[in-house]
Each structure stands twice: as structure tokens, then as C-alpha cells.
A = this chain, B = another copy of it.
């Protein structure tokens, strides 16, 4: 039987970049920054899971516990544990919504980690993934792991299968840095899925899975050149990139400034780049932003190492 061990747990849950060019629906990595803070606390007044505060979302996110990904994930966890105690959740969004950085996934991952910790960790971290994915399903229609995986586990995550979830952490070059540039326009994930074609050419699929295997091998052998050659998406990027103003120029600027590769973060509109170190990342970030400035599009930039830890308990009250 599960029972409360703490009164309150506060978690940082990082943003993440899904797809990573060629790895549509199968790869993602966690960012050091930005990320959400999620607080889950005992609700002495009763049973059930409630959202009692959301900040940083400009009033966009639902307070209805059956709709917010944080509470949906915790509900799924409690159902699975047969736990009927009450908790109240605060969600402090510290990243842009609808940006392609896995905002809904971060809230789900953070909340489920916090709730599990509140009960003294009855489940291992990896076993929490399906509950966060269930929340993703409620938010966008399908149980994807390419954001909740990195946000919960950290590092570079490979999703061999989402069905009987088979989620791997890949090793990667030590000093690898990520740059994310977020142009201030919003694209809804639902729309970006709808424009994809249901059928693709076998020849292009072979190219893509050649690149997927190449990127996995490049990461694991720390071969930056192989990673660079493999970070090419012949299927999704040509379709989705037309929704992002200035995309081709921003990507070219990143590569010209020394990025290993660059692409659409998740379903966009954020654009990410991977670099060998922080110095290159700073140069790449400036050049990417300059391109967006040039077409009059305001943007935010984030630079960080790959986040090795994923979601992280930052405060506990007994």
C-alpha cells in the first residue's frame, strides 16, 4: 500500500528537443534550461488530484485536473498504484508554450516524478514514463515518448518502440551543447502532424533509417563528423520547415557558424543546433538570432549542455 512520505515535493523538469533531425518520433534530448517547476503537495482536505495554481502560461493552460498534463499524469500514476489520497499541484511554466520544446511533456514528467517522490518512490524513475506519456496522449492524441523520455530521464533518449515502451539512454560526446532559438510565433502540434503525409517513398525511408543508425552510432562513438553527416531529415523537415519563417537561413547560419547539425525542435517553431562545445554554441546562437532579427522576428535563445539528470527533485518538505 502506498502512503504519503512527505508533505510537499518540488521538481525541476527540463525542456527537451524531440526528433533531432532524422529521428522523427524516436529520438530526443533534454536541455539544461529552460524548464518548469512543479510542486506536488498533500491535500489534507480530500481525495483526488487538483491543479491549484499555474503561473507563467498567460492563462492558457487548463486548471481542470482532467485536462492539465501534470494532473493527468499523476492521476494515471495513482490509478496504477491504487492510491486514493489527495494532492494539489502547482505548475510554474518557465518555458514558452507551443514552442516545440516539450512544454506539456515537462509538466507531466515533473509532476509524476514529484508525486512518486511524495509517496517515497514506490516506482523506479523509468517505470513512471507510461504515466507521463498518457498525459501526452491526452494533450496531443498519441502517447509519444520523445519529449517525456528526455524530460524525465535526461540525456539522449532513443525510443525503439512506443507500443510496449522500449526506451534507451544513448551515450554521447561529453562536451556536447545545444542551442535553441525560439521565434515568437506559435504552431500547434496537431496542425504540424496533420500536414505530414501518411505515405512516404521507400527510398526516402531507407535514407532516413540510414541517418538514424548513423546518428546513433555517431553519438555512441563520439564521432562528431558522423553525427553531422547523419543529421539530415529527408521526410519531415521539408514539409514542416515551410511553417517557420526564415528556417533555411537560420539553419544555414547555424551550420556556417560551426554547428554539428541543426533542425526543427520537435514540431517547431523552435530551431535547435548541436555543437561540440560552449564557445561554438554561443557563436551559433548569435548567428541564428541575427537571421531572425533580419526578418523582424523576435526570438528567445537558450544555450545549455545536454541535461544528464532529467527531472530533478529540488526541495522536499516533511
Contacts and interface: CB of A to CB of B under 8 A. Distances in A.
Interface of A: 22-27, 158-161, 166, 168, 170, 196-203, 205-217, 220-221, 226, 229-230, 235
B199 A229 contact: no
Contact of A208 (B22, B203, B209, B211): B209
Chain A to chain B: the 5 pairs with minimum beta-carbon distance, closest first: A160-B214, A209-B209, A199-B199, A209-B212, A205-B205
A199 B196 contact: no
Contact of A197 (B202, B210, B213): B202
A312 to B, nearest CB: 25
14 contacts: A160-B210, A160-B230, A161-B210, A161-B214, A166-B226, A196-B202, A199-B200, A199-B201, A199-B202, A200-B201, A200-B202, A209-B212, A213-B213, A213-B216
A202 B235 CA distance: 9
A173 B160 CA distance: 20
A133 to B, nearest CB: 15
A213 B27 contact: yes
- How many copies of this kind of chain does the complex include? 2
Given A168-B217, A214-B168, A26 B200 contact: no
A206 B202 CA distance: 12
Given A200-B200, A213-B213, A207 B161 contact: yes
B198 A161 contact: no
B166 A209 contact: no
A210 B199 CA distance: 17
A161 B207 CA distance: 7
Contacts of A229: 160-161, 166
Contact of A209 (B23, B197, B199, B220): B23
Contacts of A203: 198
